Amino acid sequence: MNEHIAEAKRKLPFPALLHRLGLGDRAKKSAPCPLHDDQHNSFSIYKNQKGEWRFNCFAGCGQGDEITFLELLKAISNKQATKLFLDMAGARAQRGGHSICTGCPK
């Protein structure tokens, strides 16, 4: 399972995930938080010392990785968020040659 998650994170890093969710304008170090009605730029994504993507909302939504973000954004369980993330990244068993584009402009 952890291998799948690591693979999914390689295929769909945080900025690409935000683009896929229509939140590409939040994929930066300082942006309005998509998790609450933000009047300030409380939201940030960054790479930690291990080179892993993390988000942080300084207003208190929380912090974590791509899966935690999906969990908070969609108000789903961690298990559901993990499944969703793996599906979005296409990291599980390949289906009929679908290739997942992680760098689409839209």
Residues interacting with Zn ion, by CB under 5 A? 33, 35-36, 57, 59, 61
Which residue, 72 or 89, is less far from Zn ion as judged by CB? Answer: 72
Which residue, 35 or 86, is less far from Zn ion as judged by CB? Answer: 35
Which residue, 22 or 62, is less far from Zn ion as judged by CB? Answer: 62
Q: Min. distance of Cβ 42 from Zn ion in angstroms? A: 5
Q: Min. distance of Cβ 41 from Zn ion in angstroms? A: 10
Q: Give backbone dihedrals phi and psi of 76, rounded to 5 degrees, phi first.
A: -125, 170
